Amino acid sequence: MKKETLYHVFSHFPELETDRLHLRAIRVSDAADMYDYAKRDEVTKYLLWNPHPDVTYTRRYLEYLAGRYRLGQFYDWAIVSKSDQRMIGTCGFVRFDCPHNSAEIGYVLSPDYQGQGYMYEAARRVMQFGFSVLGLHRIEARYMIENASSRQVMEKLGMTFEGVKRSSMLVKGQYRDIGYCAILANEFRAE
């Protein structure tokens, strides 16, 4: 895959649908919904970023993302619940390894919507897009090993556990063990 392909696809950010979710670019108008979950310690416990201190911080972050979207350099979808039109999390590609047709997927979901299959639904749709539209060969994901829920989502998506890199990331002042899971295009079953 070429970097030009990423720009071509993501400079006009694609919208995706599932039965219960609308996936679209994150908007500045999502600030209140994002802040509602991004302020919580329980959400950021296993993430690289800290809780948002206030909604102004969230709004400024989303304004920054708007510029990245315009440049075709941001690959995260807002997860919007069709039933209540709330932005309940994000899911998308964290990075691409273009020469090897590979990408890493990442996600975060409001605790108010966890345990209902929303993350599986969103991530599956993003993976389908990655394999069918972007022509990826491999999609991987990583998680802090204490985050068993994230690994369960990965395995439900059909990803294979590939191992742990011990103390491989310094996160919030502490070295963390990071688990890796991945799925190949020929292992992914489109429904």
Residue 119 is predicted with a pLDDT of: 97
The residues near 9 (Cβ < 8 Å, ≥ 6 apart) are: 72, 133, 134
Average pLDDT over residues 162-175: 96
pLDDT in tens, 128-137: 999 999 999 9
Count of the separate structural domains present in the chain: 1
Residue 190 is predicted with a pLDDT of: 64
What is the Cα 42 distance to its own chain's centre? Answer: 17
Confirm whether 141 is domain-assigned: no
pLDDT in tens, 24-52: 999 999 999 999 999 999 999 999 999 99
Confirm whether 40 is domain-assigned: yes
SS3 letters across 72-138:
CCCCEEEEEECCCCCEEEEEEEEEEEHHHCEEEEEEEECHHHCCCCHHHHHHHHHHHHHHHCCCCCE
Residue 111 is predicted with a pLDDT of: 96
Residue 120 pLDDT more than 80?
A: yes
Host domain of residue 83: 3-136
Per-position b or e across 146-161, b if 16+ CB within 10 A of its CB? eeeebbebbeebebee
Residue 3 is predicted with a pLDDT of: 86
Confirm whether 148 is domain-assigned: no
Confirm whether 118 is domain-assigned: yes
Confirm whether 161 is domain-assigned: no
Q: Directed axis angle between helix 148-156 and helix 118-132, to 10°?
A: 50
Confirm whether 167 is domain-assigned: no
Q: How confident is the model at residue 191 (pLDDT cuts 50, 70, 90)?
A: low
Residue 154 pLDDT more than 90?
A: yes
Confirm whether 83 is domain-assigned: yes
CATH of the domain at 118: 3.40.630.30
